[in-house]
Amino acid sequence: MLLLLGCGGETTAGLLPAFDYVAADGTEFEMVRPGEELQPPLLIRTSPGAWELRNGDRFDTATQVGSWTVNDETDIRIEDVLVLPEHFKRGDAVEDTVVLEIGERETWYGVFPQTVTVEISSGALTGEAAFAANVGPIFLTIDGTAWELATYRPDSE
């Protein structure tokens, strides 16, 4: 499953490890559309090998809108599309993903000091995505709609 939580994965000659950006199973993310924070959120819950997506205010009562297979054993892939290479640096282009930025990023939730922003050119996540170290996804483009982190709850299961 792809969520970003980690503690110091192995580095390779100045490259950052994808493992540091994977969240623990059971983490729940509440994502909102920028500028439309009062609209119903998109909820994402991670589990081993999958992310479940729901629309609504509470995960238990929200409507399921999707489920993605996630593989984060080495690199990070959602529905077989590369999201983060196993090790990366700014400017890397691997398969359909380009690492745009590494550093601080602000979302509705707050400022994250260590993030990686990528551009994905295939699959449901075509567009920009950002992941914070020890947190997970903080910005996703899903089917052309931008979503940013409003809140998250580790180990919500």
What is the chain's pLDDT, residue by residue, as a tens digit (157 residues)? 344 444 444 445 578 888 888 888 899 999 999 999 889 999 999 999 999 999 999 999 999 999 999 998 888 999 999 999 999 999 999 999 999 999 999 998 889 999 999 999 999 999 999 999 999 999 999 999 999 999 999 876 5
Domain that holds residue 26: 16-153
> How many domains does the chain contain in total?
1
The pLDDT of residue 108 is 87
Residue type, 46: T
Domain membership flag for residue 22 = yes
Provide the 8-state DSSP code for 5: -
The pLDDT of residue 72 is 85
Angle at CA of residue 76, ends 75 and 82, nearest 5°? 95
The pLDDT of residue 13 is 55
Domain membership flag for residue 4 = no
d(CA 149, CA 109): 6
Domain membership flag for residue 6 = no
Domain membership flag for residue 2 = no
The pLDDT of residue 139 is 97
The pLDDT of residue 73 is 84
The pLDDT of residue 7 is 40
Would you put residue 96 in left (φ > 0), alpha (ψ -120 to 50) or beta? alpha
Domain membership flag for residue 58 = yes
Provide the 8-state DSSP code for 41: P
Domain membership flag for residue 77 = yes
Domain membership flag for residue 70 = yes
Element containing residue 91 per DSSP (H, E)? none
